[in-house]
Structure 1
């Protein structure tokens, strides 16, 4: 059997997991909810358990796995394999992700910022088509970006080269999970859509289903679009 690669996309709402061949072709993929309760203490163990269950159900051994790669929000020390400041996950303190995965699987583990990993993937298998220079923007629960120049991923100071979501665009705007006010992410993401909807709802006196959901603190970006 040819070796498999496991890819993990860790998001604030869900975790997407994929089994790939060494050429980057997806053979199977699934997702699990991201449990951000208790400062996200169960997130890594949930991912590990889900992968272990898949391997068991499909009669795959650890020897069949070439390596595991993860994209995560937050500040990543890709050399140490740690994550800090992933506030949308409840991770304000440093989390040693590599240590937990290598202990569970005994296979090489690589981690980088989710937008950086997405940029690499888009260059490898997507519209980037192995071009030397690629800029990739991610839109989801938050906003991120990855920059590839002359074939090299740019990390910048503190690994923040592509963190466009935390550029301040409105000094009097909404509070951001990073602690700043008015970041791009507070208006241009799924979170931003909810922020704007709540702002308008506070000025809307008539009855509406969306206003009811907002008042009950149950609204999502999908509700706003629907």
Structure 2
């Protein structure tokens, strides 16, 4: 058996996977990402213990642990160097902490690569050799398989599409730059765009839903308001989709994928977001590259990262 763990900004998803990678049991525990690395890692360890106890599984039955972690990392050293969605999180020895606790071979990788391992083996990427995955959640992540090989790059940071510069002097990003794609096309980015439109004097049903408390606005509300023909929501979704389209057009020109898989919680916006994105791609991506590439939703759903982490653990063994 394998343990697959997806470290998210809101929840840590933990799964016990059988030898054939079917899920025996799964659970999630709050991440508390706004606290510090000690609290987050303690939450992860407690969640693993809970899963093992509830399934009456002994660690001797588990071959390996795979963990998907957002941000920059040193995979060989098992270090999470920097994660933009976490507070007080620098050079966290994730592998060392888990191995010390459970005495199991443990492997980390970027959360989106782990997602893509899952989709490639068991989901929307099956049978494809050139695949780009983009996850739209709290931030924007991406991973790339080229000619049947996952791309890593010299410092394991290949495929950071979320940090494509879309505006010379745009919104500041935790990476140190500004105007990054992920600051516009993400749940946080879309909420910020709504807030900017409201600040400019536009009105929306969303302000009624949140009783004028802008801190309560969510990306899901934008989809719901869109479906009620709310003008501001439709404008924001159009803008966000177009920026996504420019980012994907650049990725198509760079990587020449045969399939782009869109995952993450915000992917639930579906065609509301992808219709404007496809229109931009049609006008801006190279014709020869564009014509061989389709864009599809991820298949493994909200637990894709956890499943992919199990797939990754099995591959490492």
| The two structures share one fold, judged by TM-score above 0.5 | yes
The C-alpha deviation readout for 1:165-185, integer Å capped at 9, x for no partner, is 111111232222222211111
Q: Moved runs in structure 1, 4+ residues, more than 6 A?
A: none
- Normalising by structure 2, report the TM-score: 0.66
- Extract unaligned runs of 5+ from structure 1: none
How many residues get paired? 221
In terms of fraction of residues, the more strand-rich structure is 1
1:6 aligns with 2:3: yes
The aligned residue for residue 213 of structure 1 is 213
TM-fit CA distance, 1:211: 7.0
The aligned residue for residue 221 of structure 2 is 223
- Extract unaligned runs of 5+ from structure 2: 225-317
* Other structure's SS at 2:212 match: helix
The aligned residue for residue 117 of structure 2 is 120
Distance 1:90 1:68 in 2: 24
Distance 1:130 1:28 in 2: 27
TM-fit CA distance, 1:206: 5.5
In terms of fraction of residues, the more helix-rich structure is 2
* Other structure's SS at 1:89 match: coil
Distance 1:33 1:165 in 2: 25
Distance 2:118 2:107 in 1: 14
TM-fit CA distance, 1:188: 0.6
Is this contact kept in 1: 2:37–2:92, CA < 8 A? no
Give 1:71-220 correspondences, 5 Å limit: 71-204=68-201, 208-209=207-208, 210=210, 212-214=212-214, 217-220=215-218
TM-fit CA distance, 1:220: 2.5
The aligned residue for residue 315 of structure 2 is none
- Over 3 Å counting, the alpha-carbon distance change for 1:211 and 1:61 in structure 2 is same
Distance 1:161 1:124 in 2: 20
Is this contact kept in 2: 1:84–1:91, CA < 8 A? no
Distance 1:198 1:205 in 2: 10
- Normalising by structure 1, report the TM-score: 0.90
Distance 1:162 1:211 in 2: 40
The C-alpha deviation readout for 1:130-157, integer Å capped at 9, x for no partner, is 4332221111111111111222211113
**CA RMSD between the two structures:** 1.8
* Other structure's SS at 1:76 match: strand
Distance 2:130 2:45 in 1: 34
TM-fit CA distance, 1:75: 0.7
